[in-house]
Amino acid sequence: MKTAHPTRKPPSTALGAPLLEVHDLAVAYGGIRALKRVSLEVRCGEIVAMIGANGAGKTTTLKTIMRLLPIAAGRISYDGQDLAGVATEEVVARGVSLVPEGRAIFVNLTVRENLELGAWNHKDQRTIQETLEDVVKLFPRLGERMKQEGGTLSGGEQQMLAIGRALMARPAMLLLDEPSLGIAPRLVADIFEAVALVAASGTTILLVEQNTRLALKYSTRAYVLRTGEIAMSGSSKELANNEEIRAAYLGG
Amino acid sequence: MMEILSALITGIAQGSMIALIALGYTMVYGILKLINFAHSEVFMMGAFIGLFAITALGGTQAPLLAGVGGTLCAMAFAGVLGVVVERVAYAPLRGRGRGLSNTRITPLVTALGMSVLLQNLAQLLFTARYRNYPQLLPIEHTRKVIFVTAVLVMIGLELFVKRTWMGKAMRAISMNAEAARLMGVKTSRVIAITFVTGSMLAALGAVLFCLDQSPVYPTAGVVIGTRAFVAAVIGGIGNITGAMLGGLLIGVIGELTKLTPYSGLQDVLVFAALIAVLLVRPTGLLGKPGTEKV
Amino acid sequence: MPSAVQRVLTALLLVAAVVGLEFSFEHIIPDAAWRQLALLAMVNVIAALSLNIINGMAGQFSIGHAGFLGIGAYTGAIVAGNLHQMLGGGDTPFERSFIVMPVVILSAGLVAAVFGFVVGLPSLRLRGDYLAIVTLGFAEIFRLVIGTADTGGGTEGAINQALASLGGQQGYAGPDGTGVPQYAGPFWIFGAVTVATLVAWRLKFSGWGRTLRALREDEIASAAVGVDPTRYKVTSFVLSAAGAGIAGGLMASLRDGNPTVQPEQFSFATSFDAITMVILGGSGSVSGAVLGGVLVTFTVKMIEQLQGLDSVQALKAVYPSLDLNALRMVIYASILVGLMILRPEGLLGEREIFRRKSRVKVTGAGPAQPVPARTEAEVKAERSEEGQAGGAEAGGAGAEGAGAEGAMAKGALPEGTAIEREEQPLGKDRS
């Protein structure tokens, strides 16, 4: 099965070269330092996972990359350009999309309207239609529910909608925040298979996931975040076999 | 019997004007979850500018030109004023003080501050004198024009919000502003457009209101603004159809009380109706229950 | 912890100071206008302190505080007027104020508290802005009912006559129309402010105050650990209304003040002023409310004083139509908007001017710094918050990160951080 999902604006970064670089990032939140010092890089075409306990700062990292939170110190650059002082909308326009934690779909809009909003930066109806067809190919369930309001979908379907909505922007890089959270196990596999397909079509992925087993299975490399700092990093295979990781996150 | 009928007709005309003003409250609340207390002053300023423009354009000499031109002038001015208020008093507070418990109260204070400011500015510029609009149309026609205009505007607005990209963006922001930004929606632009639309409708309502034999004066916004605000809440704040319904209800209640010896208690009844509705349906007649966040 | 002797001494000292003020006030501030202003500022402080309970501590939003003030003022005026008549009328000697004022304060507080209970009840069903609108509606109904009462004679029915006796728009000036007796001198006003501040302070740091704040930060979590939100919210309304009623009662019988109470004194503008005092000072902060009350009262007066300036008078001579009162309000509103934008959290935030001596109670898992004593409910509420946030690393250093993530999800800080914030001394800017 091949799902064509051309990215809107191919990054100038070559395949395998760093696309997203986070350097010594610190983030303060209401007087608390949520991130102390986080450095990571995601190379073009990779699936990188970020794992760690709840509260370690994973969501904060993603939100800061999207420029939803202010940077206290450090640097974020995407496709060779610094993201300091760039607005969220502009980050999206440059080709980064986030599937937020808890899905955050527009509950009173129909599935179709949700998806159309995802393509906000595209004004060409044909491109939008084509992308929509790609998304429906990826998640056939959404196709059956086009006219339903988003709030009436099941948790898993909402997650599909959230991912589909992010893909409507044809991002070069997709950030996923806890896609398995609160979803029936049967659908979790479907969702991760779809993510793998998206990656196979050339979209770079940074995945935050509490389900360490799944995260390490689908990613090429991974970072372990602990209380606002990177505690460990390496290839996902290595980490899956690491004693400490097994004990702390994989239940032995 | 005839009295009641005529009161109903007047009430519906009054109510549709109130509804026009209520829309501004409802739209801004829908998007920012903010009660824009300065909206009533935008209404009042619109009425003043409308009066000046209508007079300048010839008044009763050229009723059509003066009426249409004056209304457009008032709407343009109010639109700009609405955005200025938003940029001065609300925008600087957005995204600041995140996580503090009074993030939603502070904008209310600046809103109230803007309202006091504009009211006194009007008094300073235009004096507290009551001024009347020239009689452009016979009164029965004025009422018809008011009603038809209001209904057309409501339909237009409903289409705008449901069908256009901008309308969808507005609804998206009202449901989840952060997610809308993640779609690439420039929220500050959408917010500005919301303020422009709401303020222009208020000015339209203001001109219609004053054409219907009501004087304009610096505190005119308080009385009508309060009624419009109550209408928005009764209908379910954030809900456009609700604003229309609430407006009509308030208008009719107001006119019917005028038939009783308690005409002075009109606003008491309006507020009593408000409290009664809220107690039975905590989010207004058409408001969606449970969407209000703690 | 101060010993009992210290407490008694402090109390005696305060009483002596207040009594001293009663007799030396005219020497300290020779100008009658300023004296009046100083007393008014104190009454405003009581109003701000009472509003602070709802708006600051409970996190509810009342925009109809003028209603409670008005009810207190009318009650106080009626009680003082009739009592004064019963005592023979004439002057208002200091000795006699010991009969009149306690009754005024009690009745004004009680009647307002009853209304506070009625207005607070909808908080069973309504949240946030909707509750605020109900408070506004209540205040407006009160003002309109009194203001529109028919005073032109020919009124029928007991209720109508009772309302008409309040004087409608003209206002109420005692049972014989000669003015409300002005018993509330410096002793009563400063005494009341002192007591009100102490009570507010104790409330804020009591278990009740802490539970209230836990509710404010996360109602669901608090309810889950057995706190009954409705009871706390209604109680906060009752207490707040009682405080406002007392402030209103004092306002009505304020020495050198306005001897009539009028409905227009309790319009929305009054509620607005009270909100301004609380928010400007720093909502939730007791010293902030005091600061806000004094600051707002005097700022308004200062701008009024500017009207006397030669240059302003000259301007007025050139433009006779210039409305100085409007100009004053424009300036006032601009200052207010400007200040709120520069410091959205108010001058003090939720902190206090005086750093509270923390009662040290170090728990095993807690941070090494002194933490204030906490109620069981609060600790539970905190725990449940951490629990929600995953709890894997909730204790010790990990709580920092967990708190941050939890806060992000809910858009509010967990209770623990609010406490840390309070303990921060002034001057240290956090951002």
Instruction: State the average pLDDT over residues C304-331.
Output: 78
Q: Which residues of C touch A34 (CB under 8 A)?
A: 400-401, 404-405, 408
- Inter-chain CB proximity B33 and C344 less than 8 Å: no
Match 């951002």 to its residue by tokens: C431
Q: Which residues of C touch B88 (CB under 8 A)?
A: 337
CA distance B138 to chain C (A): 33
Most confidently modeled range among A217-221, C92-96, C423-427: A217-221
- Inter-chain CB proximity A109 and B183 less than 8 Å: no
Buried b (16+ CB within 10 A) or exposed e, A1-26: eeeebebbeebebeeeebbbbbeebb
pLDDT value at residue C155:
54
Which runs of E-coded beta strand occur in B203-261? none
Q: Which has more pLDDT, C399 or C308?
A: C308
CA distance B223 to chain C (A): 11
- Inter-chain CB proximity B183 and A118 less than 8 Å: yes
Give the tens place of pLDDT for each residue, B187-236. Answer: 999 999 999 999 999 999 999 989 887 899 998 888 888 889 899 989 98
Most confidently modeled range among B38-47, B88-97, B248-257, C77-86: B38-47
Report the mean per-residue pLDDT for chain A. Answer: 89
Most confidently modeled range among A92-106, C13-27, C295-309: A92-106
- Inter-chain CB proximity B233 and C341 less than 8 Å: no
- Its sign, for the CA torsion A112, A115, A120, A124, is negative
**Amino acid residing at A153:** L
Number of Cβ atoms within 10 Å of the Cβ of C59: 24
Q: Which has more pLDDT, C38 or C59?
A: C38
Q: What CA–CA distances, in Å, run from B158 to B173, B188, B209, B272, C13? A: 17, 22, 22, 29, 68
What residues 171-200 of chain C have any CB closer than 8 A to a CB of chain B? none
Q: Which is nearest to B49 in space by CA: B250, B230, B241, B202?
A: B202
pLDDT value at residue C360:
41
**Test mutation, B101, B104, B106, B229, chain C, max C CBs within 10 A:** B101
How far is Cα C250 from Cα B140, in angstroms, rounded to an integer? 53
A57 touches chain C (CB under 8 A): yes
- Inter-chain CB proximity A32 and C430 less than 8 Å: no
How far is Cα B39 from Cα B228, in angstroms, rounded to an integer? 10
| A85 DSSP assignment | T
Query: What contacts A223, CB < 8 A, 6 or more positions away?
Result: A40, A48, A49, A50, A51, A230, A232, A233
How far is Cα A147 from Cα A144, in angstroms, rounded to an integer? 8
* Lowest-pLDDT choice from B90-94, B164-168, C153-157, C386-390: C386-390
B288 touches chain A (CB under 8 A): yes
Categorize the per-residue pLDDT at A10 as very low, low, confident or very high, splitting at 50, 70 and 90: low
Report the mean per-residue pLDDT for chain C. Answer: 76
Number of Cβ atoms within 10 Å of the Cβ of B140: 9
pLDDT value at residue A4:
42
Q: Which residues of A touch B241 (CB under 8 A)?
A: none
pLDDT value at residue B108:
81
- Inter-chain CB proximity B124 and C327 less than 8 Å: yes
Q: What CA–CA distances, in Å, run from A248 to A60, A231, A251, B67, C282? A: 22, 12, 6, 75, 44
Query: What contacts C420, CB < 8 A, 6 or more positions away?
Result: A31
Instruction: State the average pLDDT over residues B162-176.
Output: 91
Q: Which residues of B touch C145 (CB under 8 A)?
A: 265, 268
Query: What contacts A37, CB < 8 A, 6 or more positions away?
Result: A24, A25, A26, A74, A228, A229, A230
CA distance A91 to chain B (A): 8
H or E stretch at A204? strand A204-208
How far is Cα B207 from Cα B76, in angstroms, rounded to an integer? 12
Instruction: State the average pLDDT over residues C372-394.
Output: 40
Give the tens place of pLDDT for each residue, C166-213. Answer: 877 888 888 887 888 888 888 899 999 999 999 999 888 888 888 888
pLDDT value at residue C150:
61
- Inter-chain CB proximity B278 and C327 less than 8 Å: no
Pairing of strands A32-43, A18-29: antiparallel
Six-digit token string for A80: 């060779």
- Inter-chain CB proximity A55 and C392 less than 8 Å: yes
Buried b (16+ CB within 10 A) or exposed e, C6-42: eeeeeeeeeeeebeebbeebeeebeeeeebbbbbbbb
How far is Cα C337 from Cα C325, in angstroms, rounded to an integer? 18
**Amino acid residing at A144:** E
- Inter-chain CB proximity C122 and B97 less than 8 Å: no
- Inter-chain CB proximity B106 and C126 less than 8 Å: no
pLDDT value at residue C394:
35
How far is Cα A25 from Cα A20, in angstroms, rounded to an integer? 13
Smallest Cβ–Cβ distance between A117 and the set B98, B178, B183 belongs to B183
pLDDT surpassing 60 at residue A7: no
**Amino acid residing at C140:** E
**Amino acid residing at A242:** N
| B132 DSSP assignment | -
Instruction: State the average pLDDT over residues B111-135.
Output: 90
- Inter-chain CB proximity B172 and A109 less than 8 Å: yes
Q: Which residues of C touch A211 (CB under 8 A)?
A: none
CA distance C326 to chain A (A): 39
Categorize the per-residue pLDDT at C365 as very low, low, confident or very high, splitting at 50, 70 and 90: very low
Which runs of E-coded beta strand occur in C91-200? none
Smallest Cβ–Cβ distance between A31 and the set C390, C405, C430 belongs to C430
B146 touches chain A (CB under 8 A): no
Kindly report the length of chain C: 431
B213 touches chain A (CB under 8 A): no
**Amino acid residing at C326:** A
CA distance A57 to chain C (A): 6
Smallest Cβ–Cβ distance between C127 and the set B29, B127, B294 belongs to B294
**Test mutation, B41, B86, B110, B115, chain C, max C CBs within 10 A:** B110
Edge-first strand order for the sheet with A73-78 is: A81-82, A73-78, A18-29, A32-43, A229-235, A221-226, A47-51, A204-208, A173-177, A96-99
- Inter-chain CB proximity B183 and A165 less than 8 Å: yes
pLDDT surpassing 50 at residue C404: no
Number of Cβ atoms within 10 Å of the Cβ of A117: 25
- Chains in contact with A, where contact means 3 or more Cβ–Cβ distances below 8 Å, are B, C
Q: Which residues of B touch C325 (CB under 8 A)?
A: 120
Residue in A closest to B187 by C-alpha:
A89
Buried b (16+ CB within 10 A) or exposed e, C246-259: bbbbbbbbbbbbbb
Q: Which residues of B touch C272 (CB under 8 A)?
A: 112, 116
- Inter-chain CB proximity A54 and C421 less than 8 Å: no
CB pairs under 8 A between A and B: 66
Q: Which residues of C touch B222 (CB under 8 A)?
A: 268
Number of Cβ atoms within 10 Å of the Cβ of C407: 23
How far is Cα A159 from Cα A182, in angstroms, rounded to an integer? 10
Helix (H, G, I), strand (E, B) or coil at B216: strand
Q: Which residues of A touch C414 (CB under 8 A)?
A: none
pLDDT surpassing 60 at residue C50: yes
CA distance A249 to chain C (A): 11
Give the tens place of pLDDT for each residue, C207-250. Answer: 888 888 888 877 777 777 777 888 888 899 999 999 999 999 99
Give the side-chain half-sphere CA count within 13 A for A209: 26
pLDDT surpassing 80 at residue C381: no
Residue in A closest to B181 by C-alpha:
A89
Match 């008094």 to its residue by tokens: B123
Query: What contacts C368, CB < 8 A, 6 or more positions away?
Result: C362
pLDDT value at residue C96:
84
| Residue A19 contacts residue A13 (beta carbons within 8 Å) | yes
Give the tens place of pLDDT for each residue, B7-28. Answer: 888 888 889 989 999 999 999 9
Q: Which is nearest to B106 in space by CA: C346, C407, C49, C431?
A: C346
pLDDT surpassing 70 at residue B291: no
pLDDT surpassing 50 at residue C272: yes
Q: Which is nearest to C190 in space by CA: C361, C414, C38?
A: C38
How far is Cα B222 from Cα B261, in angstroms, rounded to an integer? 24
| Residue A198 contacts residue A138 (beta carbons within 8 Å) | yes
Categorize the per-residue pLDDT at C380 as very low, low, confident or very high, splitting at 50, 70 and 90: very low
What residues 96-135 of chain A have any CB closer than 8 A to a CB of chain C? 101-102
- Inter-chain CB proximity B106 and C329 less than 8 Å: no
pLDDT value at residue C9:
85
**Test mutation, A58, A68, A227, A230, chain C, max C CBs within 10 A:** A227
Which runs of E-coded beta strand occur in C165-313? none
- Inter-chain CB proximity C333 and B120 less than 8 Å: yes
Q: Which residues of C touch A102 (CB under 8 A)?
A: 409
Categorize the per-residue pLDDT at C368 as very low, low, confident or very high, splitting at 50, 70 and 90: very low
Instruction: State the average pLDDT over residues A196-206.
Output: 94
Would you kindly state where each structural domain of chain C is located, as residue ranges?
Answer: 31-265, 359-431
Kindly report the length of chain B: 294
Q: Which CATH number fits domain A18-249: 3.40.50.300, 3.90.1520.10, 2.60.120.560, 3.40.1360.10?
A: 3.40.50.300
How far is Cα C233 from Cα C59, in angstroms, rounded to an integer? 9
Angle at C140 between CA C138 and CA C142, to 5 degrees: 70
**What angle in degrees, to the nearest 10, is found between the helix axes of C186-205 and C4-28?**
140
Q: Which has more pLDDT, C404 or C250?
A: C250
What residues 240-269 of chain C have any CB closer than 8 A to a CB of chain B? 268-269
| Residue B57 contacts residue B68 (beta carbons within 8 Å) | no
How far is Cα B59 from Cα A194, in angstroms, rounded to an integer? 67
**Amino acid residing at C289:** A
Six-digit token string for A236: 């996902």
